[in-house]
Amino acid sequence: MIWWMRVNRVISTAAGLAVMLALVAVAGGSRIPAPNLLQGVLIGTPLATVLPLLVVGVFAHGLASGAHEQAAVAVRDVVRYRLIYSLAICGITAVAGLALTLTGVQPLGVAAARNVAGYMGLALVGGALVGRHAAIALPTGYLFLVIMTGSPPGGEPPLYMWPLASSGDVGAIVLAGFCFGAGVLLMVRRRKDPQRQL
């Protein structure tokens, strides 16, 4: 277990998670100017919706750098470790995000937690589709597409723009949960080619 934690960079992911939660608490409502290609203006994207990509990037890098050939012949069920690891990250983030929102420290705390789960699911899907070393490309590309197409001014974004939705948007939470569930299903499937799985 200790060897698995070292190889999969669990400590780095935990540090990234702590940094993300601290930044969300302090400056999650700050906005990053990003170009909107459809409206031709700069729009402000909340930092709390972008920061979860940091945690998921470290998570995906750690899983991609694992010794998959050795894991394929390991006595212990390494897939179960990955499943527990993924659920633990999402669970810790959900509790912390909910606490940030309910205490009034950061209204976007739940949105940040939702985005961790959604981006993680997209990274796991990306690992199955394009290979483990390019897994983070799917959530990153999706986030940039959503930011650059932007939400309509003065309203909630459409459902496919769930990363930009507010904390109380139930549809966005369900869609991010669906992404996470799809990623987990692809992760726990046994694959013949270990290079094609995160």
Task: Say what the pLDDT of residue 105 is.
Answer: 93
List pLDDT tens digits, range 36-92: 877 777 778 899 999 999 999 999 988 888 666 555 555 567 788 889 999 999 999
pLDDT for residue 168 is more than 70:
yes
Q: Note whether 108 and 167 are within 8 A (CB).
A: yes
At how many degrees (to 10) do helices 109-130 and 170-188 cross? 30
Q: Which domain holds residue 86?
A: 2-196
How many domains does one find in the chain? 1
Task: Say what the pLDDT of residue 125 is.
Answer: 93
CA–CA gap between residue 186 and residue 165 (Å, rounded): 26
pLDDT band at 151 (very low <50, low <70, confident <90, very high): low
CA atoms within 13 A on the CB side of 160: 8
Backbone angles phi, psi at 45, to 5 degrees: -100, 125
Q: Note whether 179 and 125 are within 8 A (CB).
A: yes
Q: Note whether 46 and 29 are within 8 A (CB).
A: yes
